[in-house]
Structure 1
Amino acid sequence: MMVGIRRIFEANFRVYNARKVWRQLQREGFGVARCTVTLLVKAMGLQGIIRGKSVKTTFSDKSAPSPLDRVNRQFKVPAPNRLWVSDFSYLAPGRASSMPPSS
């Protein structure tokens, strides 16, 4: 079975994952469970192309000092149960109905 899995994987430019290898084995008449193919593919160290998020290769150094706060932000709550909300909406000139026209 492992020879068939390796053959299918190599014949398809090493891009097939376990599910596609299993589907090809089914088309060729091999009655094997998909979980078995998945375990064998993993044991053989084969990995097809993965769509979606790529592997993260860079990790931040937690022991490095953080840069200084250059805008002097104060992360202190002035009183309990206070909620501060800000809105950075963009209003095109002349479109705001509640604002007086600019001179």
Structure 2
Amino acid sequence: MLIKAECVRGRVFATWAEAKLGLFEYIDGFYDSRRIQKRLCYLSPIEFEEKHYAEHATTEPLNLKPRQPALTS
């Protein structure tokens, strides 16, 4: 498995738990969030989200006014 080889190459783990944690940190911290994906137009998920929010920030102004409480009689 390529992802496993990328993660553990050159590393020595003292226990299985340490190896599992290292693999989890690699997958969660790098592989899933930073690698480019074809379905996201060859952007990483982080880049895709940044682009999405940047595009919507200019087209949809935020309504930051606090909500007024309803008046009861």
TM-score by length of 2: 0.31
Higher relative contact order (CA 8 A, sep 6+): 1
Which is greater in Rg? 1
The answer to which structure has the higher helix fraction is 2
TM-score by length of 1: 0.23
